[in-house]
Amino acid sequence: MAMHDVVVTGVGIVSCAGESIEAHLEALVSKAQPKTDGDMFPSYWIHPVGAVEYDKQIPKKSDQRQMEPWQRLGVYAAGLALDSAGVKEDVELKHNMHLIVAAGGGERDYAVDGQILTGMRDAANPGAYLNERLMNDIRPTLFLAQLSNLLAGNISIVHGVTGASRTFMGEEACGIDAIRIAHGRIRAGQTDSILVGGSYNAERPDALLIHEMGGYLWKKPFRSVWERDAEGGGFVLGSGGAFIMLESREHAEKRGATIMAKLEAVSSDRSVRTSGSVKKALTKAWNDVGATASATVFSGATGVAGITAEEQKALSGLASNGKIHALGDLVGHTIEAQTTMGAVLGAAQIHKGDINEAVVTMVGHRRGEGALRLVKA
């Protein structure tokens, strides 16, 4: 069976660094401290998304209103990728285009949650009270708004991408697996175009609560991802979205598309976390994708103590002749969207001529490891 080259023909990104490739590449080069906010949810830091004119990619206000913030970010980034690929108005191509999304579990209605928790304090039968309130207070539309696959649904509705769609869940690991599956399907000839990516909204107390319960959040004055390990470690969540348009080379060339980079290979795994396991997993992924010592690395490092120091040490050896960027120092930690953030930046730098090879690495804060490699097309 003939294998097909998989190429990147479009990218879209929005984060605390802005909503254009140019803004992100400028921030990457300048090494300036990213936009942070420590007042929204004291004493926790977040990287809030910048001002976004959603009308540009989601023209109907009714569509915007029925989406949660993370969905709007994802739909917006997906639209940017379609624009970048030059297919926004190609109805037939979008009709056959596949869609793969990496997403979390939606957002909570804090008012309803608060009312239920307050009422349970005085309820004669807390269990019965909870069941009654869940059935009566959480409307069907509200419940459906929690579903992770609604991001894919909204992209289909707003942008007309109506081929087969898949939604992956599983924190950082699902982001790289989404790209791995997209790459594998195009390479095997099962389809010729896939829009893939994800989004995350950090500006929500439930997200902070979940990660704080695990002891994963950074609460001290801002430090680079690589500098946090010595002070206990932790990540700063970031709001944003990122999507890439993948095509077979034949399909892209036939329609006269501009090819930004070639997605050479993707590797993902899930090791049992012990001392040395991160280095072992990254080394395997590095070799699996055929990366070289001169590659520019876009690391999804979390800043969590232990694994981040091990990752930094491993990468310094693997990319001994290349630059290493921490995505967390640019966009914050965007969980499911983190790998695609790196893929967007790597493809953009290759297209611009700044680099010849990019490797995006991912070590999840609890589980999952992997890498993908982009090269000149």
Cis ω for the linkage preceding 43 (within 30 of 0): yes
Tell whether 140 and 54 lie within a shared domain.
no
Q: Within a domain: residue 116?
A: yes
Tell whether 214 and 346 lie within a shared domain.
yes
Q: What is the pLDDT of residue 136?
A: 79
Radius of gyration (Cα) for the chain, nearest Å?
Answer: 20
Tell whether 208 and 291 lie within a shared domain.
yes
pLDDT of 248 > 90? The answer is: yes
pLDDT tens string 136-174: 776 554 555 557 888 999 999 999 999 999 999 999 999
pLDDT tens string 267-324: 999 999 999 999 999 999 999 999 999 999 999 999 999 999 999 999 999 999 999 9
Tell whether 72 and 202 lie within a shared domain.
yes
Q: Within a domain: residue 1?
A: no
Q: Within a domain: residue 293?
A: yes
Tell whether 231 and 213 lie within a shared domain.
yes
Q: What is the pLDDT of residue 9?
A: 98
Q: Which residues contact 134 (CB under 8 A, 6 or more apart)?
A: 116
pLDDT tens string 332-361: 999 999 999 999 999 999 999 999 999 999
Structure tokens at 179: 């790209």
Tell whether 84 and 193 lie within a shared domain.
yes
- Between 4 and 207, where is the model more confident? 4
| Beta strand pairing call for 369-375 and 357-363 | antiparallel
Tell whether 182 and 134 lie within a shared domain.
no
Tell whether 138 and 163 lie within a shared domain.
no
Q: Within a domain: residue 342?
A: yes
Q: What is the pLDDT of residue 2?
A: 80
**Residue after which a domain boundary falls, among 88, 120, 144:** 144
How far is it, in rounded angstroms, from Cα 332 to Cα 35? 9
Kindly report the CATH number assigned to the domain that includes residue 344. 3.40.47.10
Tell whether 47 and 103 lie within a shared domain.
yes
Q: Identify residue 186 by its one-letter amino acid code.
A: I
Number of structural domains (the chain) is 2
Q: Within a domain: residue 297?
A: yes
Mean of pLDDT values over 62-83 = 95
Q: Which domain holds residue 161?
A: 6-107+145-375
pLDDT tens string 115-138: 888 999 999 999 999 888 878 776
**Residue after which a domain boundary falls, among 124, 144, 164:** 144
Tell whether 154 and 202 lie within a shared domain.
yes
**Residue after which a domain boundary falls, among 118, 144, 170:** 144
